[in-house]
């Protein structure tokens, strides 16, 4: 068993593959939080066009399978339209497109979580802010969203954990992340199937478990007392 | 309408009507509140007092009629409306302190973000205001850690921090335990003595008698009586006012 493990780690660069997974997950998480917050702001904005855009975007993207989004951005954006996101080599282009697709998709769920958080903020909070002369952006950015975020850290943790697991779909556009390597290993080392599976399952739990624990702790820490 | 009256009045409502669906909540409301006057608005539940109060800074838009504040017609939206609201202090029944900010940050927020004051300056005047309402020692706590009376005094300080031209109060003591009512009324009475223009929806008769110059009695969306506190309490004219007074005075 230990020998097999040593053999696998020797022959395959498991750590490097997981490092790509981590990069995909972290960069996509940052992007999704930003774009998801922007979408939530649009959904509650007084401008009908923005509300409409956000609603259509979310309903369209959220209901499209992630595989379709990722393959679509590789084949459609890159191969057909020539969008490379300033990447030069194919691996670079696909890595960046994978992040783009993951952000586009995950931000829908960030937005919907945040929106339910916004609903937990008492209307009096926004009214008091408006009555003091704060403008829409200030009311949202200073009063409503900070309280909304605090109340949805739990659900956001689930979204980020799902994102981490969803990075495996980037293998579909040949990004060399963990799942891509697992596929290769399963094909080449069929006799060690069980061990390979355990390695990768453990790897993902190792990545996602702290996310849940840390955010659970943060959530308790910053909870708004009412 | 002459220029003199509109510049003299701090609040002026002309032919104001407001509907919630089919419900006619404000019916042809007309009044002027001169600078420095303290008006107490009384009336049974559902008579439109809160709606009127909220219409004055357009938290509730009206369907027709015009409201002027300090001679300027209420802007419909945008920057001009925000600027007007900055000049109209508002105190709510449920305090509405920002739950995620400390008391001093609650008071400093709008001076920093709307008036663009410098932080040390804003902090100093915030602390002075908290001193004035008697809760300077609570400045670093969060709203949920304060008693209701303390929260409401903090909310008054927050409104005063904008140096408003007029202060609106919508039942500021109705959500308080009885023993905390007086501390809030004391702050309001002092404010009245200092010459602040005040528009106060309240059922506190003691405050009305002591601090108010004028009582407006509302029923069914109309201003039914508009007179001095003394006259209103000793000599109500309408049946609705008599009925209302008999109900609250027996409490
Ligand atoms: N947002 C709203 N939508 C629909 N109807 C409303 C709304 N706000 C108030 N109303 C109705 O308008 C009427 C006047 O309400 P308002 O709150 O102004 O009364 P009030 O005099 O302040 O009463 P109270 O003493 O209970 O506070 C009531 O019949 C109320 O039910
Ligand atoms: Mg009311």
Residue B45 near ligand 1, beta carbon < 6 Å: yes
Whether residue A187 has pLDDT greater than 70:
yes
In the numeric block, which tokens belong to residue A220?
């308790």
* Ligand with minimal distance to B221 CA: 1
Percentage of chain B modeled with pLDDT above 70: 96
pLDDT of residue A218: 86
CB contact under 8 A, A132 and B159: yes
pLDDT of residue B157: 96
In B, residues 53-82, which contact A (CB 8 Å cutoff)? Answer: 57, 59, 79, 82
For residue A191, what pLDDT band results from cuts at 50, 70 and 90?
confident
**Neighbouring C-alpha atoms within 13 Å toward the C-beta of B119:** 1
Average pLDDT over residues B136-152: 94
In the numeric block, which tokens belong to residue A216?
């659970």
| B109 interfaces chain A, CB cutoff of 8 Å | yes
pLDDT of residue B5: 45
pLDDT of residue B3: 41
CB contacts of A48 in chain B (<8 Å) are none
Gap between the Cα atoms of A193 and A185, Å rounded = 8
Q: Mean pLDDT, chain A, as a whole number?
A: 90
Token pair 């609650």 in the structure block, residue:
B106
Could you tell me which of B241, B185, B174, B240 has the C-alpha nearest to residue B208?
B185
Instruction: List the domains of chain A with CATH numbers.
Output: 2-222 (1.10.3720.10)
Q: Is B250 exposed, middle or buried (0-12, 13-18, 19+ CB in 10 A)?
A: exposed
Whether residue A1 has pLDDT greater than 90:
no
Percentage of chain B modeled with pLDDT above 90: 86
Could you tell me which of B247, B244, B207 has the C-alpha nearest to residue B229?
B207
Q: Provide CB contacts within 8 A for B82, sequence distance 6+.
A: A130, A133, A134, A135, B114
Gap between the Cα atoms of A22 and B107, Å rounded = 43
Q: Provide CB contacts within 8 A for A25, sequence distance 6+.
A: A160, A163, A164, A167, A207
- Going A23 to A29 to A30 to A35, the CA torsion angle's sign is positive
Gap between the Cα atoms of B83 and A111, Å rounded = 31
Token pair 């925000």 in the structure block, residue:
B82
Gap between the Cα atoms of B242 and B65, Å rounded = 30
DSSP state of A79: I
Q: What is the dihedral of CA A65, A66, A69, A72, to 10 degrees?
A: -90
Whether residue B228 has pLDDT greater than 90:
yes
Report which ligand 1 atom has the smallest distance to the Cα of B171. Answer: 27
Residue B50 near ligand 1, beta carbon < 6 Å: yes
In angstroms, what is the span from residue B43 Cα to ligand 1's centroid? 12
Interface test with A, best of B78, B81, B99, B114 (most A CBs within 10 A): B99
Distances (CA, A) of A206 to A164, A194, A213, B6, B85: 11, 18, 11, 70, 52
Backbone angles phi, psi at B132, to 5 degrees: -60, -35
ipTM exceeds 0.95, yes or no: no
Gap between the Cα atoms of A73 and A88, Å rounded = 16
Distances (CA, A) of B205 to A155, A173, A205, B230: 49, 75, 66, 11
- Per-residue pLDDT reduced to its tens digit, B52-75: 999 999 999 999 999 999 988 998
Whether residue B118 has pLDDT greater than 90:
yes
Residue B20 near ligand 1, beta carbon < 6 Å: yes
pLDDT of residue A225: 67
Q: Are A5 and A195 in contact (CB under 8 A)?
A: yes
Q: Provide CB contacts within 8 A for A68, sequence distance 6+.
A: none
Atom 30 (ligand 1) nearest CA: B46
Gap between the Cα atoms of A93 and A173, Å rounded = 10
DSSP state of A74: I
Q: Provide CB contacts within 8 A for B183, sequence distance 6+.
A: B134, B149, B153
Alpha helices in B63-102 (DSSP H): 78-87
Interface test with B, best of A46, A117, A133 (most B CBs within 10 A): A133
Gap between the Cα atoms of B241 and B231, Å rounded = 12
Distances (CA, A) of B36 to A131, B57, B187: 21, 18, 16
- Per-residue pLDDT reduced to its tens digit, B76-114: 878 889 999 999 999 999 999 999 999 999 999 999 999
Helix, strand, coil shares, percent, chain B, to 5? 45, 25, 30
């Amino acid at each position: 068993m230990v020998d097999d493990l040593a053999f696998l780690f020797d022959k395959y660069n498991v750590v490097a593959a997981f490092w790509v997974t981590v990069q995909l997950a972290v960069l996509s998480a940052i992007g999704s939080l930003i774009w998801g917050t922007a979408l939530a702001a649009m959904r509650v904005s007084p401008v009908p066009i923005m509300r409409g855009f956000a609603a259509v975007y979310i309903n369209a993207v959220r209901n499209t399978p992630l595989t379709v989004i990722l393959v679509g951005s590789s084949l459609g954006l890159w191969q057909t339209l020539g969008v490379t996101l300033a990447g030069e080599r194919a691996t670079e282009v696909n890595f960046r497109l994978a992040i783009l697709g993951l952000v586009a998709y995950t931000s829908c769920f960030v937005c919907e979580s945040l929106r339910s958080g916004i609903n937990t903020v008492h209307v009096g909070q926004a009214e008091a802010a408006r009555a003091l002369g704060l403008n829409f952006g200030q009311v949202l950015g200073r009063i409503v969203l900070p309280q909304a975020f605090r109340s949805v850290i739990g659900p956001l943790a689930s979204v980020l954990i799902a994102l981490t697991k969803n990075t495996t779909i980037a293998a579909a556009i040949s990004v060399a992340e963990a799942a891509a390597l697992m596929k290769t290993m399963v094909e080449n080392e069929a006799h060690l199937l069980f061990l390979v599976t355990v390695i990768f399952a453990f790897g993902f739990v190792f990545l996602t478990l702290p996310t849940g624990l840390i955010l659970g702790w943060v959530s308790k820490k910053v909870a708004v007392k009412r | 309408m002459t220029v003199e009256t509109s510049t003299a009045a701090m609040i002026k409502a002309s032919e104001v009507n407001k509907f919630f669906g089919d419900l006619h909540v404000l019916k042809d409301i007309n009044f002027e509140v001169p600078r420095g006057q303290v008006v107490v608005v009384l009336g049974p539940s559902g008579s439109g007092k809160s709606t009127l109060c909220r219409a004055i800074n357009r938290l509730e838009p009206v369907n027709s009629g015009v409201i002027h504040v300090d001679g300027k017609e209420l802007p419909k939206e945008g920057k001009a409306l925000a600027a007007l609201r900055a000049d109209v202090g508002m105190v709510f029944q449920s305090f509405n302190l920002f739950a995620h900010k400390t008391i001093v940050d609650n008071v400093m927020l709008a001076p920093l973000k709307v008036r663009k004051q410098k932080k040390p300056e804003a902090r100093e005047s915030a602390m002075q205001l908290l001193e004035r309402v008697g809760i300077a020692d609570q400045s670093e706590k969060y709203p949920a850690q304060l008693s209701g009376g303390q929260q409401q005094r903090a909310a008054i300080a927050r409104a005063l921090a904008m140096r408003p031209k007029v202060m609106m109060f919508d039942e500021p003591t109705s959500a308080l335990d009885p023993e905390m009512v007086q501390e809030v009324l004391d702050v309001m009475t002092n404010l009245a003595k200092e010459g602040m223009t005040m528009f106060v929806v309240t059922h506190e008769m003691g405050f009305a008698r002591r601090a108010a110059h004028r009582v407006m009695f509302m029923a069914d969306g109309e201003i039914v009586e508009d007179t001095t506190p003394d006259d209103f309490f000793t000599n109500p004219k309408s049946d609705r006012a008599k009925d209302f007074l008999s109900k609250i005075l027996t409490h």
